[in-house]
Amino acid sequence: MAEVVTSLEDATALAQASRPSTPWSHARAMRDKLDASLQKIADGHQNSPIALDDVRAATSLLQRLCLLESDAMLAVPLRLTGGRYGVRHSLATAIVLELMLTRMGTSPSERRTAMNAALTMNLGMHELQEQLYAQAGALSPEQRASVLDHPNVSVALLRGAGLEDRMWLALVTQHHEHLDGTGYPRKLSGDQLWPAAQALMLADRWCAMITERGYRPGAPPDKALQLIVGRTSGVADTSIGRALSDVLGPYPPGTPVRLVNGEVGIVCRRTYDPSAPVVRVMHPTYGPKGPNGVNRLCIESKLRIEACIPAAELGFPIDTEQLWPANGPL
């Protein structure tokens, strides 16, 4: 039954209770809002110019969250569930991209434009992306043609919504192009590719690789990073591969891991040493001493990370609100 609001105080309390208050409640609210906005642009809805403004608003908030709560936001690619796969993927890619471009010294306004591109890059295959999420078999010739053309269709939809931003449109066009001209749809190469487009492509790949599909689990984050950075040559500038590596490290926040002492936990915070993050270990025997588990700084030899593990091997549910509370009022 709907709650009855009888006074101004009740109304204020209700508004505060329903307002996102942690980095992760913001991320979930953003996922749901983007779901509706991207659908409008993909459908060529008459309100698609307003939906574009919603995308810009999401980007501004995302940039602030990445600045203030970068570890919580970096866990989004691995831990955000629910809603459409395509929306989760775009949100995850935008977060990794923002942190890479910050590392590369890109200005805040250019980073916002790049995030706008990340959120809208796959509009041209909005429905197909959900089909492919669940499809184990090879692509049909029609599906393949749609995949190869989707950057062009995305640009057409964005123009149809009234977008004229040259950089935003160029990044969407270029998000599958390679430095050596082997990408698609235009086989651009070398200086024709914007550095931010190369960063977008690598962030897109990593997020796709670590995410489960309907028919297979996601790759462990350390293996995915190794594969992508190892194959950067010819695809993107090696300095951009390094930016990806610097931001993520082998064990980014949200990664389930096993330590050499046998304990299992979730990476919750990065440190100055990419291979030695802080891991929240949960164990029934800690009981009242630490109902939320204990943090292990994985730098001592007996506390090093041995391996990434599937989340199912943790033996406890992952509570994102508990793992990444707000650093302060949001």
Which residues in this chain contact Fe ion in the complex, by CB under 5 A?
A: 122
Shortest Cβ distance from residue 211 to Fe ion (Å)? 14
Q: For residues 230 and 243, what is the distance between their CA atoms, to the nearest angstrom?
A: 13
Closer residue to Fe ion (CB): 122 or 245: 122
Q: For residues 73 and 57, what is the distance between their CA atoms, to the nearest angstrom?
A: 17
- Closest-approach residue to Fe ion (CB): 122
Q: For residues 121 and 258, what is the distance between their CA atoms, to the nearest angstrom?
A: 36
Shortest Cβ distance from residue 177 to Fe ion (Å)? 11
**Strands 294-297, 278-281: pairing kind:** antiparallel
The gap from C-alpha 147 to its chain's centroid, in whole angstroms, comes to: 21
Closer residue to Fe ion (CB): 31 or 175: 175
Closest CA to 200 of 97, 129, 87, 105: 97
Q: What is the 3-state secondary structure (H, E, C) of 46-73?
A: CCHHHHHHHHHHHHHHHHHHHHHCHHHH
Shortest Cβ distance from residue 329 to Fe ion (Å)? 36
Burial-class residue 94 by CB neighbours within 10 Å (0-12, 13-18, 19+): buried
Closer residue to Fe ion (CB): 218 or 290: 218
Closest CA to 210 of 152, 250, 178: 250
Say if residue 185 is preceded by a cis peptide, omega within 30 of 0.
Answer: yes
Shortest Cβ distance from residue 129 to Fe ion (Å)? 8
Closer residue to Fe ion (CB): 122 or 320: 122
Shortest Cβ distance from residue 229 to Fe ion (Å)? 20
Closer residue to Fe ion (CB): 132 or 314: 132
Closer residue to Fe ion (CB): 146 or 320: 146
Shortest Cβ distance from residue 183 to Fe ion (Å)? 11
Return phi, psi of residue 280, to 5°: -85, 115
